[in-house]
Structure 1
Amino acid sequence: MTQSKSTFNSVLLLSGTMVIVKILSAIYRVPYQNVLGDEGLYAYQQVYPLVAIVSVVSLNALPSVMSSWMINRNQDTIAALFWWLQSICLSVSIILFLCSHTISELMGDAQLAPMMRMASIALIPLVFISMTRGYYQMKHQMNTIAVSQVIDQVLRVVVILIAIFLYVIMNISIYQAGTIAISGSIIGLSCVVIYFLTKSKPQWTLTFEISVKDVKNVMTMTFLYAISYLILILWQVVDSFTLIHLLQDTGYNFQESIKVKGIFDRGASLIQMGLIVTTTFSFVLIPLLTEQLQKKNLKLANEYANTSLKITVLFSMAASIGLINLLPILNTVFFKTNELVGTLSIFMLSVIFVTFIIMYTALLQVKAKRKILFLALVVGLALKLLCNYIFVIKFGILGASISTVFSLSIYTLVLHLAVIKQYDFRNMGKFIFKIVITLAVMSLFVQLVLLIPANSRVTSLIVLVFAGIIGVIVVVTGIIKLKILKNEEMKHLPLMDKIIKE
């Protein structure tokens, strides 16, 4: 019992740490944009997706795969996998480093090359960190993993703040500042390596004796685990390679293009903040669902699936509509100017579809439906690329938001058609109607609050906080009064068991 409680507390600590990490990764762009401007944010965001992919794989995907894969493997097999994966990562790193100028030109800005070279180095420590985290996860030593995450993220943020400071006092370029900021990831990961080596030094022999099938399976499972975390990042990769070219084709000059792209990139931070809320609530039942499927208790598993979907619909719509309502004042408070509100408002709808995709991916993963996950991702990415060329040429930067939301909606639809074959969802029409009523009332109250005059960023922040609190109160009141969720469903949500008394 004590061991079980200790394990639970460790998992809780790790989950809390990951939320903090997500919040830090979402908000550091705000001071960065405030000092370096939209052009500075553009430069960072062009290269950031590569670093983000490394972060996702080393934080979530590969450690999760390793924690189960290593259980029945001997030391030599584990060592062989390490050297295979390390060889692959090193090869990719060298290719990216050597081709950095070509890649930057493909993005439409050759000055990004030093940042690309710096980002490529982040691949080198990835495998060691991931496998070590997987080992500690297998041993249920979550405290060690949590400390490594804090070291990584805190150092990244500190180096980014140093980049901002140097930009101000030394008048370096946005590209030089961006290179320093990206180096924060290298420094963070390197310090994590040092931290792990102080805990224990692995005694791995140099061997490559492992079946190619094993390596392939690990890479496939890692990709499947990473899909949920990589959605927006992969969409940003498409934008990095297409938007600057397309904006110039529509009549913008280069400087105008990078400024507009920088304003568009503000949306990534806002969406990430919305996703922190939605995913925190939406995933509470997935472990219970998995457990019931393993016990072949299909009725209870289906109930958990229904409740998970309801929670996903409720909080994704609330977060998205809430962000759209608050966007004009959010834009001013966080980013100084209120520009491209229409473009960013459409972009905020991504919260709904990304949350659905994450939930549907989890529901299909527990049923081992891998092919449909690959198919849906390929369809979504292909549509994003195609629609960028169609909509950006026609509507400018607004087209980037339209192409993102449209491609994500089709991605969601493909997964939805697969999910409804696996689960029986009921009584959703009345449920969605209640949500629409609640969000309409919430929007009305929030808009009334936003009528309060705000002549500075400080007063705007006060109004923003007040409007946010009012919005949350209205939504919670609607959930309870309209019985949007049943009592037994609400008790699965954080704090709701304190609010609801049977």
Structure 2
Amino acid sequence: MSENTKKGSFIKGAAILTAAGLAARVMGFGYRVILTRIIGAEGMGLYQMAYPIYTVLLVVSRSGIPVALAKLIADKIAADKKKEAYKIFKVARKMSFVIGLLISIVMALSAKPLISLLSLDPRSYYAVLAISPAIFVVSIMASYRGFFQGLQDMVPTAKSQIFEQFIRMFTMIGLVILLVPYGLDFAAAGASFGAVSGAIGGLIILLIIYSKRKEKIFTFLETGDDSVELSSKSIVQKIVSLGVPITLGALVMPLMSLVDLVFVPNRLQDAGFMIREATELYGMFSAVAMPLVNFPTIITVSLSASLVPAIAEAYTLGREKLIQYRTQTALRLTVLISLPAAAGLFLLAEPLTEIIFAEPGAAVPLRFVSWGVFFIALQQTSTGILNGIGKTSIPAKNLMVGAVFNAVINYTLTAIPSFGIRGAALGTSTGFAIAAFLNLYYVRKESGFRIDAKAMIIKPFTSVFLMGIFVKIFYNYLFVFLEKNSVDFAYSITTFVTVAAAALFYFVILLLFKEIKYNDLAMLPMFGKKLADSLVKIGVLKKDN
């Protein structure tokens, strides 16, 4: 494989996962919009109460296996130990089966005690119970995804993500419509069960792909070193040694959500809200504001997943320049994508929450948590870099520090009437900001990476500042022009046209600043290379060396 091919391979993998993740997020957005309009913020609050419990136990069940597996397999293949790579996968698959089954049973049996212990709305019991089988299925699915990602093949993961979300969407909407006449608690349970059916669908796709490619995989493995020196026990120890720090790091985010789940409704009640009002406000924050914040980060999640095996390979082969290139590219793209997304959510918080979710009240927490997009994205990408060079414990520690700040701010401010739900939003943004900056410090320390201030700070922030001015002017003028016919029509059209126009304006500014590279566009699915070549022809863009 040529050096240029190697440099672009992780971006291509990230592009594949991004395209799949974007499709999955669009479907996820779709069902959240529909569900919110059917059961409102209160019903979504009940639905969301099951998720922090589920995600905490899911992370424990998976034990960092996908990331550890991707790294170990990439290391072995780089060292031409392909048979050992396959044995690692088989051991990890058995671990996933046993651990996932046990944790699913534990969650189902402890649903009521957990709800009581966490002082949650008792109506969330059925939602917690309905989602518990998903842990078993997702754990097995994760081992297959880790295997393919270790081979730097992101297509199986991408296909399974899309199919998983497709099945999930139709199950959730169908069950909610069927069960809502019986009460919000049963409707929320129907929504939760979508995670189970979706996971089954995603696993089936992976099994089909694995079955079809089995012969090709075995042929590939035959070309490596015949010796298999690793025992099953040593493989388990390696997975645990890598997986436990990754698990601790991965646990922090669901624990932050769990902290929000425990603190927000209870501290809102301390601020003077009734339990139904507190559940509704929690729903606005967790089911409306946070999905809008998390939507743009699908690209950085994909970058992070692709970075681990890509940087692990370069690190194993001792290619420092390749590590530097991949680190620089990933962080630069993270800044260029997440910064305008954060600014857009801040500036258009009210129209976005009202038009999409019919919950304009959610604009209040969204404005305060919108800048979290930037920090969450930086934290995710820098975590992928550190995991790739084997420093898996560092992101875990840094995210834990951020989580402590989040908990303190959340607990303190949410109970103050003048802050209320804003306190939870501020806590989340601050927690991720601290974790991101600590990660960047260690990326620099461990890899020797140096931040290019001009490319990663001055030009992106200037571009976003200009975009923000454009958004304010363009939105106001377009709304005044369109409201003569219909205010509702003007409100909706103005918002979406402004988003599209702002994206185009930002893209042009980046081109003028020479911040868009040929490879950045060429790796985009479907139209990327054609667009890049067209811009080269008219002299706007230059091909990378």
Q: Normalised by the size of structure 2, how large is the TM-score?
A: 0.77
| Contact 2:66 2:145 (C-alpha < 8 Å) held by counterparts | yes
Check 1:332–1:404 CA distance in 2 against 1; reply closer, same or farther (3 A cut): same
Q: Does residue 407 of the first structure (1) align with residue 431 of the second (2)?
A: yes
| Contact 2:150 2:309 (C-alpha < 8 Å) held by counterparts | no
Give 1:380's match in structure 2, choosing from 397, 402, 411: 402
Give 2:341's match in structure 1, choosing from 319, 337, 341: 319
Shift of 1:255: 1.1
Q: Does residue 472 of the first structure (1) align with residue 503 of the second (2)?
A: yes
What is the match of residue 165 of structure 2? 153
Give 2:512's match in structure 1, choosing from 451, 465, 481: 481
Give distance in 2, aligned partners of 1:178 and 1:480: 46
Q: Does residue 100 of the first structure (1) align with residue 103 of the second (2)?
A: no
Give 1:366's match in structure 2, choosing from 388, 396, 403: 388
Give distance in 1, aligned partners of 2:164 and 2:506: 36
Secondary structure in 2 matching 1:450: helix
Give distance in 2, aligned partners of 1:100 and 1:282: 33
| Contact 2:264 2:282 (C-alpha < 8 Å) held by counterparts | yes
Shift of 1:135: 5.0
What is the match of residue 497 of structure 1? 532
What is the match of residue 338 of structure 1? 360
What is the match of residue 293 of structure 2? 271
Check 1:20–1:57 CA distance in 2 against 1; reply closer, same or farther (3 A cut): farther
Check 1:167–1:290 CA distance in 2 against 1; reply closer, same or farther (3 A cut): same
Give distance in 1, aligned partners of 2:51 and 2:150: 30
Matches within 5 A, 1:9-408: 16-51=19-54, 62-63=65-66, 65-66=68-69, 71-73=82-84, 81-105=92-116, 106-134=118-146, 145-167=157-179, 171-193=181-203, 210-211=232-233, 214-219=235-240, 221-222=242-243, 232-265=253-286, 266-277=288-299, 292-299=314-321, 301-394=323-416, 395-408=419-432
Give distance in 2, aligned partners of 1:28 and 1:386: 33
Counterpart residue identity of residue 20, structure 1: A
Give distance in 1, aligned partners of 2:323 and 2:207: 42
| Contact 1:330 1:464 (C-alpha < 8 Å) held by counterparts | yes
Among all aligned residue pairs of Structure 1 and Structure 2, give the percentage whose two residues are the same amino acid: 22
Give distance in 2, aligned partners of 1:123 and 1:62: 14
What is the match of residue 443 of structure 1? 468
Check 1:79–1:406 CA distance in 2 against 1; reply closer, same or farther (3 A cut): closer
Check 1:230–1:318 CA distance in 2 against 1; reply closer, same or farther (3 A cut): farther
Give distance in 2, aligned partners of 1:158 and 1:467: 31
Check 1:282–1:11 CA distance in 2 against 1; reply closer, same or farther (3 A cut): closer
Secondary structure in 2 matching 1:42: helix
Check 1:363–1:145 CA distance in 2 against 1; reply closer, same or farther (3 A cut): closer
Shift of 1:163: 2.7
Give distance in 1, aligned partners of 2:506 and 2:88: 53
Secondary structure in 2 matching 1:124: helix
| Contact 2:163 2:198 (C-alpha < 8 Å) held by counterparts | yes
Shift of 1:110: 1.8
Shift of 1:437: 2.9
Give distance in 1, aligned partners of 2:190 and 2:403: 30
Q: Which moved more, 1:397-406 or 1:472-481?
A: 472-481
- Compute the RMSD of aligned alpha carbons: 3.8
Shift of 1:376: 0.7
Give distance in 2, aligned partners of 1:85 and 1:278: 26
What is the match of residue 205 of structure 1? none
| Contact 2:62 2:100 (C-alpha < 8 Å) held by counterparts | no
| Contact 2:249 2:395 (C-alpha < 8 Å) held by counterparts | no
Check 1:481–1:125 CA distance in 2 against 1; reply closer, same or farther (3 A cut): closer
- Which runs of 5 or more residues in structure 2 are unaligned? 74-81, 215-230
Counterpart residue identity of residue 329, structure 1: P
Check 1:99–1:230 CA distance in 2 against 1; reply closer, same or farther (3 A cut): closer
Give distance in 2, aligned partners of 1:435 and 1:116: 42
Give distance in 2, aligned partners of 1:298 and 1:221: 22
Give distance in 2, aligned partners of 1:457 and 1:51: 39
Give distance in 2, aligned partners of 1:279 and 1:77: 24
Q: Which moved more, 1:187-196 or 1:97-106?
A: 187-196
Give distance in 2, aligned partners of 1:149 and 1:103: 30
Give distance in 2, aligned partners of 1:142 and 1:28: 25
Shift of 1:132: 3.9
Shift of 1:36: 0.7
Shift of 1:247: 0.9
Give distance in 2, aligned partners of 1:439 and 1:26: 25
Secondary structure in 1 matching 2:135: coil
Shift of 1:428: 0.6
Check 1:12–1:417 CA distance in 2 against 1; reply closer, same or farther (3 A cut): closer
Check 1:401–1:65 CA distance in 2 against 1; reply closer, same or farther (3 A cut): same
Give distance in 2, aligned partners of 1:231 and 1:24: 26
1:139-196, Cα deviation, whole Å (9 max, x unpaired): 787665554433322111001111332255xx12111011111112222333455566
Give distance in 2, aligned partners of 1:418 and 1:140: 25
What is the match of residue 434 of structure 1? 459
Give distance in 2, aligned partners of 1:81 and 1:396: 45
Q: Normalised by the size of structure 1, how large is the TM-score?
A: 0.83
Q: Which moved more, 1:114-123 or 1:69-78?
A: 69-78
1:410-433, Cα deviation, whole Å (9 max, x unpaired): 112221221221334244168523
Shift of 1:348: 0.8
Give distance in 2, aligned partners of 1:41 and 1:33: 6
| Contact 1:278 1:319 (C-alpha < 8 Å) held by counterparts | no
1:286-344, Cα deviation, whole Å (9 max, x unpaired): 87766654553434543443343333223221110011112121011112242143421
| Contact 1:305 1:423 (C-alpha < 8 Å) held by counterparts | no
Check 1:325–1:229 CA distance in 2 against 1; reply closer, same or farther (3 A cut): farther
| Contact 1:274 1:323 (C-alpha < 8 Å) held by counterparts | no
